[in-house]
Amino acid sequence: MQRPTSTRRRIVAAALSIPLIVTLAPLGAQARSVYENRRPVAHRICHFDWRDGARQVKKLIRCAAARWDSPGGRRKALSVARCESGFNPRAYNSGGYAGVYQHAVRYWPGRADRWGFPDRSVFNGRANIIVSIRMARAVGWSPWSCA
C-alpha cells in the first residue's frame, strides 16, 4: 500500500530534522557543563595571591573545592595537592609533570583551555588549582597518583 505524498513528505522531514534537533539541543547537564567549562573563569572567583606561599595556596584550594563541589571535599583536594607538590606552584618532576597538582606538561594547554584558563602556564597556581578541581569534579581524583 502506497502512502499519500503529503504523508511521505512529513515522514521524510521528521526523519531529517531529528539529527539536527539532537545536535543543536543541549541534552542535559553534561552537555551544558562541557560548554560552561570552556568559558574563562572570572578573575574575582577564588582570587588569592598564590605567589604569597603555601598558606594562600591552601586558601585557594579550599575556595575552589567549595565553589566547584570537589569530590571528597576540601580535605581530599588539600590531601592530593600536599602529596603531589607540597603546595608548591613551581614544582616540577623530571617526568614532565608540573604545578600544584602535577599536570602532564604536554596535556596542560588542552586542559587549561577546556577548563577555563586558556593561555595560562601550568606554573600559574590559580589556573592549576582551579583546572584540577574542575577536572576532579568531572572525572574524580583517579588521574592523580596521590588520590
Model confidence over 78-137: pLDDT tens digits?
Answer: 999 999 999 999 999 999 999 999 999 999 999 999 999 998 999 999 999 999 999 999
CB atoms within 10 A of CB 66: 14
Q: Which of 127, 128, 145 has its CA nearest to residue 80?
A: 145
Q: Strands across the sheet with 92-93, in order?
A: 92-93, 97-98, 103-104
Which amino acid appears at position 119 of this protein? D
Q: Which three cell numbers stand for residue 19?
A: 539529527
Mean pLDDT of 8-33: 51
Residue 141: CB atoms within 10 Å:
20
Q: What is the mean pLDDT of the chain?
A: 82
Q: What is the pTM of this model?
A: 0.72
pLDDT range class, residue 147, cuts 50, 70, 90: low
